[in-house]
Chain A
Amino acid sequence: MKKRSRVWRKGFNHAISGMAAISALLGLIVLGWILITVISKGLAAYNVDFFTRLPTPPGMAGGGLANAILGTLLLTVLAGLMGIPLGLLAGIYLSEFGQHARFAESVRFLANILMGTPSIVIGIFVYTFLVAPLGHFSAYSGAVALAIMMLPVVARTTEDMLQMVPKELRESALALGAPRWKTTLQVIFRSAKSGLLTGVLLAVARVSGETAPLLFTALNSPYWPSGLDQPVANLTVTIFNYAMSPYADWQRMAWGASLLITLGVLALMLVSRLVLKERKTK
Chain B
Amino acid sequence: MKLFRETSTQNRTDGLFKFITLIGAAILLLIIAALFVQLIRSSELAFKTFGWSFIWSGEWNPIRGQFGAASSIYGTLVSTAIAMLFAVPLSIFIALFLVELAPPTISRWIGIGIELLAAMPSIIYGMWGLFVFAPFMGKYIQPFLQSVFGNSVLFQGPPIGIGMLTAGIILTFMILPFISAVTRDVFGMVPSVVKESAYGMGATTWEVTRQVTLRYGIRGIIGGAFLGLGRAIGETMAVTFVIGNSHRIVPSLFAPANSITATLANEFAEASEPLYLSALIELGLILFVITFFIQAVSQIWLKRVRKSMGVQ
Interchain nearest-CB distance for A192 vs B (Å): 15
* Residue A38 lies at the interface, judged by CB distance under 8 Å to chain B: yes
Interchain nearest-CB distance for A59 vs B (Å): 20
A117-145 toward B: CB 8 Å interface, digit per residue (1/0)?
11111101101110010000000000000
Q: What is the bound-complex CA distance between A117 and B120, given in angstroms?
A: 18
Q: What is the bound-complex CA distance between A215 and B128, given in angstroms?
A: 20
Q: What is the bound-complex CA distance between A143 and B201, given in angstroms?
A: 59
- Which of B119, B261, B280, B292 is the one whose CB lies under 8 Å from A212? B261
Given A24-B93, A27-B110, A261-B123, A243 contacting B241 (CB threshold 8 A): yes
In the complex, the answer to whether A118 meets B236 with C-beta atoms within 8 Å is: yes
Q: What is the bound-complex CA distance between A211 and B236, given in angstroms?
A: 9
Q: Which residues of B contact A127 (CB under 8 A)?
A: 268
A54-89 toward B: CB 8 Å interface, digit per residue (1/0)?
000000000000000000000000000000011111
- Which of B126, B177, B234, B295 is the one whose CB lies under 8 Å from A119? B234
In the complex, the answer to whether B284 meets A236 with C-beta atoms within 8 Å is: no
Q: Which residues of A contact B125 (CB under 8 A)?
A: 34
In the complex, the answer to whether B94 meets A215 with C-beta atoms within 8 Å is: no
In the complex, the answer to whether A98 meets B121 with C-beta atoms within 8 Å is: no
In the complex, the answer to whether B236 meets A254 with C-beta atoms within 8 Å is: no
* Residue B39 lies at the interface, judged by CB distance under 8 Å to chain A: yes
Q: What is the bound-complex CA distance between A90 and B90, given in angstroms?
A: 37
Instruction: For A205, give the chain B residue with the smallest CB separation.
Output: B119
Q: Identify the stretch in B22-30, B59-67, B142-150 within 8 Å (CB) of chain A at 4 or more residues.
A: B22-30
Q: What is the bound-complex CA distance between A111 and B17, given in angstroms?
A: 21
Q: What is the bound-complex CA distance between A88 and B28, given in angstroms?
A: 12
Q: Which residues of A contact B48 (CB under 8 A)?
A: none
- Which of B90, B121, B132 is the one whose CB lies under 8 Å from A261? B121
A256-273 toward B: CB 8 Å interface, digit per residue (1/0)?
001001100110010000
Q: What is the bound-complex CA distance between A114 and B21, given in angstroms?
A: 19
* Residue B97 lies at the interface, judged by CB distance under 8 Å to chain A: yes
B97-112 toward A: CB 8 Å interface, digit per residue (1/0)?
1100110000000100
Interchain nearest-CB distance for B58 vs A (Å): 22
Q: What is the bound-complex CA distance between A41 and B17, given in angstroms?
A: 52
In the complex, the answer to whether A23 meets B13 with C-beta atoms within 8 Å is: no
Q: Which residues of A contact B246 (CB under 8 A)?
A: none
In the complex, the answer to whether B123 meets A236 with C-beta atoms within 8 Å is: yes
Q: What is the bound-complex CA distance between A116 and B291, given in angstroms?
A: 7
Q: What is the bound-complex CA distance between A109 and B261, given in angstroms?
A: 24
Q: What is the bound-complex CA distance between A112 and B295, given in angstroms?
A: 8
Q: What is the bound-complex CA distance between A200 and B49, given in angstroms?
A: 45
In the complex, the answer to whether B284 meets A90 with C-beta atoms within 8 Å is: no
Q: Which residues of A contact B102 (CB under 8 A)?
A: 21, 24
B210-241 toward A: CB 8 Å interface, digit per residue (1/0)?
00000000000000000100110111110011
A231-249 toward B: CB 8 Å interface, digit per residue (1/0)?
0000010011001100000
* Residue A184 lies at the interface, judged by CB distance under 8 Å to chain B: yes
Q: Which residues of B contact A215 (CB under 8 A)?
A: 265, 268-269
A89-119 toward B: CB 8 Å interface, digit per residue (1/0)?
1111110111000011011011111101111
In the complex, the answer to whether A111 meets B117 with C-beta atoms within 8 Å is: no
Residues facing B in A189-217 (CB within 8 A) are 205, 208-212, 215-216
For A, the interface residue count at a CB cutoff of 8 angstroms equals 90
Given A92-B24, A116-B295, A148-B31, A16 contacting B206 (CB threshold 8 A): yes
In the complex, the answer to whether A120 meets B236 with C-beta atoms within 8 Å is: yes
In the complex, the answer to whether B120 meets A21 with C-beta atoms within 8 Å is: no
Q: Which residues of B contact A93 (CB under 8 A)?
A: 18, 21-22, 24-25
* Residue B153 lies at the interface, judged by CB distance under 8 Å to chain A: no
Instruction: For B24, give the chain A residue with the smallest CB separation.
Output: A89
In the complex, the answer to whether B17 meets A31 with C-beta atoms within 8 Å is: no
* Residue B73 lies at the interface, judged by CB distance under 8 Å to chain A: no
Q: What is the bound-complex CA distance between A23 and B102, given in angstroms?
A: 12
Q: Which residues of A contact B126 (CB under 8 A)?
A: 240, 243
B109-146 toward A: CB 8 Å interface, digit per residue (1/0)?
01001111101111111111011100000000000000
In the complex, the answer to whether B38 meets A117 with C-beta atoms within 8 Å is: no
In the complex, the answer to whether A125 meets B34 with C-beta atoms within 8 Å is: yes
Given A27-B180, A92-B24, A239-B123, A118 contacting B130 (CB threshold 8 A): no
Q: Which residues of A contact B287 (CB under 8 A)?
A: 118, 120-121
In the complex, the answer to whether A184 meets B17 with C-beta atoms within 8 Å is: yes
* Residue B308 lies at the interface, judged by CB distance under 8 Å to chain A: no
* Residue A20 lies at the interface, judged by CB distance under 8 Å to chain B: yes
Beyond A28-B113, A93-B24, A177-B4, 20 extra complex contacts between A and B, CB < 8 Å: A13-B206, A17-B101, A21-B102, A24-B94, A27-B94, A31-B114, A31-B117, A85-B24, A89-B20, A90-B28, A112-B299, A121-B284, A124-B39, A151-B28, A236-B123, A243-B130, A254-B127, A258-B124, A265-B121, A269-B119
Q: Which residues of A contact B (CB under 8 A)?
A: 9-10, 12-13, 16-17, 19-24, 26-28, 30-31, 33-34, 37-38, 41, 85-94, 96-98, 103-104, 106-107, 109-114, 116-122, 124-125, 127-129, 132, 148, 151-152, 155, 177, 179-181, 184, 205, 208-212, 215-216, 219, 236, 239-240, 243-244, 251, 254-255, 258, 261-262, 265-266, 269
Which are the 7 A-B pairs with shortest beta-carbon distances? Answer: A118-B234, A209-B121, A89-B24, A90-B24, A181-B17, A23-B93, A93-B21
